Chain A
Amino acid sequence: MTDTVCAEMCVPPTDMLYGSPYEFLETGIEGRALFNLPFGDIVNFLTPYTAVLFIFALTFTIIALISKPERQVDTVFGGDAYYTKDIPKDTLKFQRFMAIACGLATMGGIMAGDVFNFTLFTAFIGITNLGIVAAVKNKHILDNAFEYGLLAMVGTLPLFVGAALVLATTGTLSMWVLFNSAAAVPLFAKLLLVIGVIAEGMAPVFVAKAEITRAPGAPYILMVHVSSLLIFLRVIEIVISM
């Protein structure tokens, strides 16, 4: 590639654009960044907004780590009797592992300063969410987990295509550059990113079905919702800022 082509296609080094590479991100959307961690042109940053999300994700991950699961009360159909569903120890261990992995992936997605890292963490969230749900040994829930698995797999396509389109049109994946400069990301790429995130974070799909009432285990099942919503909040921020 010749220099002239590169000058058109590549974004110049960040220090040429914004003075010091340590300069804090400042947009009219979420104010001034609190913290910067530059790796080349990929700058991981924490704005007040992402800080709030990060603390929330951390809190719920810790809750999933230390809390014992609920014992769901279920009535026996056609009578006054009821029983509690206890989670077997091996299921509990696996669900807890997946819930914590899910929390870590969520925190990673919130901290990511790179669109590709963000999509990667979102894909992780899809996998771990699937793990949380699929740990329950119940025919109906497993059936649903299979469907969610298909949805999450299909969802990776728009997700990564969205990130690829951002790279192809602007020449960079760094959010710090994308947020600061006037580089125009096509609406289509943003749309694909949002669709991908909605498909990966399956909470709305999951709860709209009756299967959530069959799946016991409060702090772990809750992580499905926490991760989906937090990653959705993050993608809204990214899409508006770009």
Chain B
Amino acid sequence: MMILLYIIFAVIVGLLFHGIHRKVIARIQTRPGPPIWQEFLHVMKFSFKQTWIPKTASKVLFVAIVPAVIAIWAGALYVLFTGGSLLIIFGVYLLHKITEHGLGLSSGSPYGKFGAIRSVLSAASEIPLIASIAGIYFVTGSLMISDIVAYQAENGMLLITALPIALAMYVIILSKVPYSPFGIIEAKEIVSGNKTEHFGAFRAGLEVGFALKTFVLLAVFVTLFLGAMPFWMLLVASLILLLTMSFICALTPMLSPYDAVTIQIGVIIIVIIYIAFIAFAGGMP
């Protein structure tokens, strides 16, 4: 039962995290904000709504993209908990990009299409990810999550020993959190971006997938940079990480696509300088 229970648990925690995120943002902006279980209500609300496929949509793609979002993150969760390859989680992150693109393209709506285009335009956010993955490989000599955890047990937290890589990873996760300054794909000037045309049961499915995504990304960061810890502490650490992101999301406006890409390129330059530094200064263990 374990795999299934883990996935269901991750969905519940992910939805709760989204709710807490919204609540914290609201409190910082001196609004009362929704209750923290608001996202559960959202999923239920969407699932009880009328649902059909728009006439202009590419029908199979329109439907199939929703299970695809859930499936890739459920797979990533399994890889994370079994200490598999970090490269798979990196792959899933890019596959998520494809599903975002497909989500927007499938409906035939111009808003969805613009969201999809921005999703690919922000491919620049993948470059810090590649750099940070390469950096982790450079420092620990392995990309298996179990090996990275073992490395940290010996040599201390990667958050301290490899801070620039953690920074790059932080920016990546920040760009995928709701209400993020980098969330240009669902900016309000294009309605809801690539999610615009997915309503009703499809939207409820998407919310489930995105909850899984948030949980997996936060847990990956904690596991990679803070090391192994008991499960309850993983949850607490993920929550604290999310709260730091809530502060950033509450205090910064949505960046324009150009600025978002520029900042992400700035981060990769920091990481490249760092990797070059440890490569040439002999800091490599």
Contact = CB atoms under 8 A, between A and B. Distances in A.
Interface string A185-228: 00000000000000000011001100011001011011001100
B108 A218 contact: yes
B109 A73 contact: yes
Contacts of A150: none
B228 interface: no
A59 B61 CA distance: 10
Contacts of A212: 113, 117
Give the dominant DSSP class at B's interface: helix
A74 B85 contact: no
A140 to B, nearest CB: 15
B56 A84 contact: yes
Given A53-B91, A213-B117, A222-B61, A28 B144 contact: yes
Given A28-B144, A213-B110, A240-B137, A49 B85 contact: yes
A63 B108 contact: no
Nearest to A216: B108
Contacts of B143: 28-30, 240
Interface in A2-31: 28-31
Interface string B144-159: 1001000000000000
A153 to B, nearest CB: 23
B181 interface: no
Contacts of A67: 58-61, 64
A68 interface: yes
Contacts of A60: 98, 102
A225 B85 contact: no
Contacts of A68: 58-60
Counting contact residues on chain A (CB < 8 A from B), the size range is 35 or more
A38 interface: no
B248 to A, nearest CB: 27
A66 interface: yes
A229 B94 contact: yes
Nearest to A72: B108
Contact of A49 (B64, B91, B141, B147): B91
Contact of B137 (A29, A69, A207, A229): A29
Contacts of A30: 85, 87-88, 143
A232 B98 CA distance: 13
B36 interface: no
Interface centre among A53, A63, A203 (most CB of B within 10 A): A63
A78 B140 CA distance: 59
A72 B105 CA distance: 9
A237 B87 CA distance: 8
Contacts of A73: 56, 108-110
Contacts of A47: 85
Contacts of B90: 233, 236
A75 interface: yes
Interface string A24-68: 000011110000000000000001110011001001100100111
25 contacts: A28-B142, A28-B144, A30-B88, A47-B85, A48-B84, A48-B88, A52-B88, A66-B60, A70-B56, A70-B108, A72-B113, A73-B108, A84-B56, A203-B120, A204-B123, A207-B120, A208-B120, A213-B110, A219-B58, A219-B106, A221-B105, A222-B98, A225-B98, A237-B87, A240-B134
Interface of A: 28-31, 47-49, 52-53, 56, 59-60, 63, 66-75, 84, 203-204, 207-208, 212-213, 216, 218-219, 221-222, 225-226, 229, 232-233, 236-237, 240
Closest 5 CB pairs of A and B: A67-B60, A28-B142, A70-B108, A70-B58, A207-B120
Given A71-B108, A213-B113, A213-B117, 15 more contacts: A28-B142, A29-B137, A29-B142, A53-B91, A60-B102, A68-B59, A70-B56, A84-B56, A216-B108, A219-B60, A222-B101, A222-B105, A226-B98, A236-B87, A236-B130
